[in-house]
Structure 1
């Protein structure tokens, strides 16, 4: 059975799109989100503005934005426009906007 290249390419693109969508749907357990919210409340940060960056899941934050640790959590956080933002420290991409 011979498959045509456009069919195979379309299949790969479809799978890549599904993977990208799943990567954006970060699921944080309610208990972990409670820990994060509590920590952020105890360690308040001044809100920053990031000109030229639209704050969405998947947006990359510039290196000039300081990311802060939450103990026992992979992700870092920063407060942007009065919203707590979880960021993947490896890619600097926003993975969740808490408030």
Structure 2
């Protein structure tokens, strides 16, 4: 009986950890994404190279990369390898790559 309880508790904790990690994912509301796309088109930036960084959601950009604020949102953006990258400025994590 003890073994089953411990296994069940471990399984619950594992699932709780997965749920907490998923809750940290940033979801950009459609209205915000429209604002970002329109702003980026009007305010193009020169593309930069960031060696060693894959442009994946969750990747962290180094402090050497200058982020540019998107007004009326809580996000920033930068052009990396000719792709627009939307970033959470607090964590510097990529939250969206706009093709």
- TM bin (shorter chain): 0.7 to 0.9
Q: Distance in 2 between matches of 1:10 and 1:88?
A: 32
Residue in structure 2 matched with residue 75 of structure 1 by the alignment: 75
Within-5 A mapping of 1:34-73: 34-73=34-73
Quick check: which has more Rg, 1 or 2?
2
> Where does structure 2 lack aligned partners over 5 or more consecutive residues?
none
Q: Distance in 2 between matches of 1:97 and 1:24?
A: 14
Give the deviation of 1:20 after TM superposition: 2.2
Residue in structure 2 matched with residue 24 of structure 1 by the alignment: 25
If the length of structure 1 is used for normalisation, what is the TM-score?
A: 0.83
Instruction: Give the RMSD, CA atoms, in angstroms.
Output: 2.0
Give the deviation of 1:25 after TM superposition: 5.7
Q: Distance in 2 between matches of 1:9 and 1:75?
A: 37
Q: How many residues align?
A: 97
If the length of structure 2 is used for normalisation, what is the TM-score?
A: 0.83
Contact in 2 for aligned 1:24/1:57 (Cα 8 Å):
no
Residue in structure 2 matched with residue 9 of structure 1 by the alignment: 10
The 4+ residue runs of structure 1 with deviation greater than 4 A are none
Q: Distance in 2 between matches of 1:15 and 1:96?
A: 25
> Where does structure 1 lack aligned partners over 5 or more consecutive residues?
none
